[in-house]
Every structure is written in structure tokens, then in C-alpha cells.
Amino acid sequence: MYQKISKTILGTATALALVASTAAAEELRAWNIHTDGHPNTAAMDRFAELVAEKTGGDVNVEVFHGGVLGSQPDALEQVQLGAIDVGNFNLGPIGPIVQEANLVSLPFIFKSVDHMFRVMDGPAGEKVAMGMANAGIMPIGWFDAGARSFYNNTGPINSPDDVAGMKIRVMNNDLFTGMVNAMGGNGTPMAFAEVYQSLSTGVVDGAENNLPSFQSVGHFEVAGFYSLSEHLIIPECICVNTALFEGLSADNQAALVAAAEEASVYQRELWAEQTQASRKAVEAAGVQINEIADKGPFQVAMAPVYADYLAANPSMVELVELAQSTE
């Protein structure tokens, strides 16, 4: 995917580089929501090191961890405006800005994480990437974010009926509120940073996330049941403000893309290890991990989310079919 995008953009940039060749080093600010110990934090630090190394110091990236530059929806807007240059974003909150990105936020669209990467590395992923680049948020690497499952503090969730009546925090995207509401729950969009307190004070009854994030920000301390619904498999990106990227020399563009690819390989290795480690750690802390024998009823309950979404966005039908027909 990035090879294709970067070829297009490298062409444009070569032309630009002939016109403007400035020597001043580019200082980029990068947004990361995660704290120390999370795989994405290590991968973003690696990305910054690699960019400095591969551009010979022409481009430097300073990564601001822990979401200190703002919530994810705010940071996405800042990247579009060019006030923040780079970010490690989840594609979920990109859906409200870039229609194609909603492909990955349809529940159960992917059969597995491997299937998701095959789709993202193929023509469907290319369409998503182009949509994002056109909106100013250009992906140059894909991270693994595993699968998201529901957690709460009253008991295991085995069927959609168990979610009925529960207020569940979701990321900012109508598809996610629709998904919880389709089970009779109350989907509540909220910034990641507010979830811990909302769970502990009962403002929400539950939330949904992957195991590394469930552990890293301590949600396991205030939600003792994690039920493996694995309803969403959403990739994340290293994304760069498109105009900034296009303004770099062809060599520096290639260096950024290579750095992002290497950092992504590193992230995916760390991710696999951390998912196991997080599961062990939260279990040791007393969390009950609940395997769901039959996810079929969840798929059935969430099917209207697809139907409603595609009826309202008919231009997405082809992309959804392309992803679904990818082996």
C-alpha cells in the first residue's frame, strides 16, 4: 500500500524538489495517546530514531506520549490543519472524517488480524489510504491493534442480551454507538483519557478495547470481567500531514516511508508479545477472562449496523464487498 501511495507522491515530490531545495532541518511534532510500556510508544520512539538516522538529521520527530497534545479526535483535526505533523492513530475515530476509513470499523468485517492485514495491503486498503491522504492524514505504516472486546464490572458477557441496558463507552464514531445500541445497550462516545474514572464512578458500565490497552491504562482495576467478543479488528497507522510529506525532498519522503515500515514491523512483534503478557497480568490481578463459545449471535445482532450504514452510504458497498471477497 505505502509503496503505491509513495510512488504517486514521490513523483509529485521529485518535481517539487527541483523547485525548492532548502537546507533547514524539519522539526516534526508527533502525537501518541499511549504511555510507557505500551508497544506503540516503543514503536513511535523507534520511528523517530529511524527518521533521524535515515534522513541524516534533515528531519527530526519529537513524540509527545500519553495524549498530552489532546484527545484523538482533536489530534486528528490538528494533523489535518498541520498544527501536529505526525500521529499514531486508530482508524476508528478517522471514520467520521474519511468515509473509506469506516470500512475497518464495521463489526466482524475481518476474519482475523491476518485477514485484516491482507485487506489493508491490497486494493481495498489502498482506497482507504488514498481517502485518508486526500483528507490530509496520510498513512505511511500500519500497526496491529489486535481485536477489541467488551469489559465491565458486573459479570461475563456471553450474548448480546447481556449487553442490553448497559452503558458502554465507545470511541468517537456513530458506527460504534450503533453497534452497542443494536444489542439494546447505550453506546457512549468518550475520550480515552476519561474512561478510567467513568468506569470507577459508574458513569459507564463497561467499555471495549484490546488487551494491551485494557491493561496499560489500568481499566482492568475497575472492570473485572473481560469477555472475548473480538467484534472489531481495527488497524492503526503512523500518519503524516499530507502537505508536509509532499513538501519533503524525494529522499526524505523515502526515508520516512522506510522508517515507518521498519517501526511497523517492530510494533507488530511487540504487539504479539504484549497481548500474551497483558492477558497474564490482568488474570493475575483477578480479572476473569471469558471465552465466548458462539459469537454468531453478536454478528446477527450487529448485522443491522451494516445494513443501515450501507443504505445511508451506498458508495461504500463496493469497498465493503472488495474487503469481504479478499481471501
Residue numbers 57-76 binding ligand GTR by CB under 6 A: 72
To ligand GTR, the closest distance from the beta carbon of 311 in angstroms equals 27
What's the CA gap between 259 and 236, in Å, rounded?
16
The correct pick among 13, 17, 33, 79 for binding ligand GTR (CB under 6 A) is: 33
* Cα separation values, 227 from 155, 163, 287, Å: 9, 11, 10
If one asks whether residue 233 binds ligand GTR (CB under 6 A), the answer comes out as: no
If one asks whether residue 51 binds ligand GTR (CB under 6 A), the answer comes out as: no
Spell out, one character per residue from 1 to 30, where the chain touches ligand GTR: x when CB under 6 A holds, - when not.
------------------------------
To ligand GTR, the closest distance from the beta carbon of 301 in angstroms equals 21
If one asks whether residue 44 binds ligand GTR (CB under 6 A), the answer comes out as: no
Amino acid letter for position 34? H
If one asks whether residue 150 binds ligand GTR (CB under 6 A), the answer comes out as: no
CB-nearer residue toward ligand GTR: 209 or 253: 209
Cell match 489535518: residue? 80
If one asks whether residue 116 binds ligand GTR (CB under 6 A), the answer comes out as: no
- Counted residue by residue, the chain has a size of 327
The correct pick among 159, 210, 253, 264 for binding ligand GTR (CB under 6 A) is: 210
The correct pick among 209, 227, 229, 253 for binding ligand GTR (CB under 6 A) is: 209
Span of 3-11, 130-138, 209-217, 311-319 interacting with ligand GTR by CB under 6 A: 209-217
CB-nearer residue toward ligand GTR: 6 or 229: 229
Span of 45-53, 208-216, 265-273, 279-287 interacting with ligand GTR by CB under 6 A: 208-216
CB 212 within 8 A of CB 274: yes
> What is the Rg, in whole angstroms, of the alpha carbon atoms belonging to the chain?
20
Cβ neighbours of residue 238 under 8 Å, at least 6 residues apart? 44, 47, 86, 87, 88, 139, 140, 141, 143, 260, 263, 264
Joined together, the cell numbers standing for residue 176 give 460504534
Half-sphere exposure of residue 168, counting CA atoms within 13 Å on the CB side?
29
Spell out, one character per residue from 74 to 113, where the chain touches ligand GTR: x when CB under 6 A holds, - when not.
----------------x-----------------------
Long-range pairs, 9-18, Cβ under 8 A, ≥24: 9/133, 9/138, 9/245, 9/246, 9/253, 10/250, 10/253, 10/254, 12/246, 13/245, 13/246, 13/247, 13/248, 13/249, 13/250, 13/253, 14/250, 16/246, 16/247, 17/249, 17/250
Span of 15-23, 207-215, 302-310, 316-324 interacting with ligand GTR by CB under 6 A: 207-215
- Residues within the interface to ligand GTR (CB under 6 A): 33, 72, 90, 145, 171, 192, 209-210, 213, 236
